[in-house]
Amino acid sequence: MKSGWAFGPLALAVAGAGAPLGCSHATGNASSPQYLDRDAMLDPQTCQQCHANHYRDWSGSMHAYASDDPIFLAMNARGQRETNGALGTFCVKCHAPMAVHEGATTDGLNLATLPQKLKGVTCFFCHSIESVDGAHNAAVTLSDDQVMRGEYSDPLANTAHASTYSVLHDRDRVDSAGLCGGCHDIVAPPGAAIERTFAEWQSSVFSHVHGGDTCGQCHMAQSTGQIPIAQYPGASPRYYHAHDFPAVDVALAPGFPDAAGEQKAIQDFLGTTLQTALCVTQQGGVRVLVDNVAAGHFWPSGSAQDRRAWAEVVAYQGANVIYQSGVVPDGTPVVSVQNDPDLWLLRDCMFDAQSHQVNMFWQAASTEGNELPVQVTFDPTDPRFYQTHVYQRFPRALNAVLPQMPDKVTMRIRLQPVGLDVLNDLVASKDLDPAVAKSMPIFDVVPLLTWTAQAATLTYDEDGVPVACVSTSNFNVAADKTLATDHMKCTP
């Protein structure tokens, strides 16, 4: 009997390499192997014995952390309370799929009492997925045969588990994106598509050109050379694919393995995502140009209703600040900044069935977003090629200029994985420890870029007016550009 259930992206225990006798208690011979029993296979620590590198990566990842994340626990607790339990397994199907599958929880409220092997997105769960049956909300089927699925067509016979090739687990096959899509595309109970990362990828050029670029190719870095990826006699060298899956979200619970290292990995990963330029017109208007060049989806993506991404722009004349937008004091939610009509904030907003803005996903019937679009073609002769070249005006009004001509302007693009306003709301409802809110970092996705007239060597014309730019990337400032969109219905 097979079982349909939730899934999360790849974990570890790569099929094709297994546990030697020195790593496990399995016994048997080549003709009749006696593999590890199912209870042992459920535990990622069992996998660690022969897949030490994979376990090291995974144990510091958001997949391992998924059931222990205090923000998830707070949102689930509040959602269960405010829906009188109707939320059910909606959250926990992706955050602790094996706990749901094993019947150990029906709502995630008892996760603290469960064994760790049933928590998080585990090795056994990911590598047992046999089929993907839908595009969102954990629509996958788990096999009951205890055969570990992976990317290798020539799996190594071993005494830990049977192994087989799976196109869903092969990061170089476009089908593998569907495996990740199950839990990275979410439709809320009232109907809002609150996470659309998979759908965004499907609409992009990355889903089909040259065989496609997959989730795993971006979020599972490949080793430069081949190494034995399992500590098992006879294991041949193969390319190793990291299992820490850096993206946006961060581990904030005390004592989580290598939290600082994972934050650095996230910062490094985000730093490759955008190309930017900072420009000033001859009359003194500021232009921020941004191109989503590396994300295979919109930016920011995922739980975009909780993300807070914005541009900070500061103009100087001498030592005096003559203009600023997006300057957020430490500990202040960006949505609380006053007297900043030019704030360029990228996020989703959610609305109920009566089109009233709501703050929590279990209330959301629709969404509205202004994220940076994804690339849909690599053909520069196609007008859509430049739709990702987005620019914003500072000041915002048409033909508006700064009060004085600046001699220096600085800009950076900032991102908070979960906004302080969201966290403070959970603190106010007594579902979240205030210390968690205080520890949420802000990433500078684009570090400080400084414009001066002397440094501005890139130029283009805007309605016949010269514009001078600086850029730290290969940004073609003269190419076609699209004016950034603002929310029409969203309020801070």
Q: Where is the domain boundary, 170, 186, 207?
A: 170
Confirm whether 143 is domain-assigned: yes
Residue 443 lies in a domain: yes
Residue 192 lies in a domain: no
Determine the pLDDT at residue 23. 55
Report pLDDT for 296.
Answer: 95
pLDDT of residue 409: 98
Tokens of 420: 């302080």
Per-residue pLDDT at 486? 85
Q: Is residue 71 part of a domain?
A: yes
| pLDDT (0 to 100) of residue 20 | 40
Q: Is the Cβ–Cβ distance between 262 and 243 less than 8 Å?
A: no
User: What would the two tokens of residue 397 be?
Assistant: 């009004």
Q: 91 lies in a domain?
A: yes
User: Is 61 contained in some domain?
Assistant: yes
Question: CB of 443 within 8 A of CB of 432?
Answer: no
Report how many domains make up the chain.
Answer: 2
Angle between helices 420-428 and 70-82 (to 10 degrees): 60
Half-sphere exposure (Cβ direction) of 225: Cα atoms closer than 13 Å: 2
Domain that holds residue 127: 3-170
Q: Is 234 a member of any domain?
A: no
Give the residue from 170, 187, 216 where a domain finishes: 170
Spell out, as residue ranges, where the chain has pLDDT lower than 70.
1-33, 209-211
Of 170, 185, 216, which residue is a domain's last? 170
pLDDT tens track for 387-420: 999 999 999 998 999 999 999 999 999 999 999 9
**What are the backbone angles phi and psi of residue 158, rounded to the nearest 5°?**
-150, 175
Per-residue pLDDT tens over the stretch 63-75: 999 999 999 999 9
- Per residue in 344-387, pLDDT (tens digit) is 999 999 999 999 999 999 999 999 999 999 999 999 999 999 99
Measured on CA atoms in the order 350, 355, 356, 361, is the torsion positive or negative?
Answer: negative
Closest CA to 293 of 310, 277, 276: 276
Residue 413, domain member (yes or no):
yes
The predicted pLDDT at position 211 comes to 62
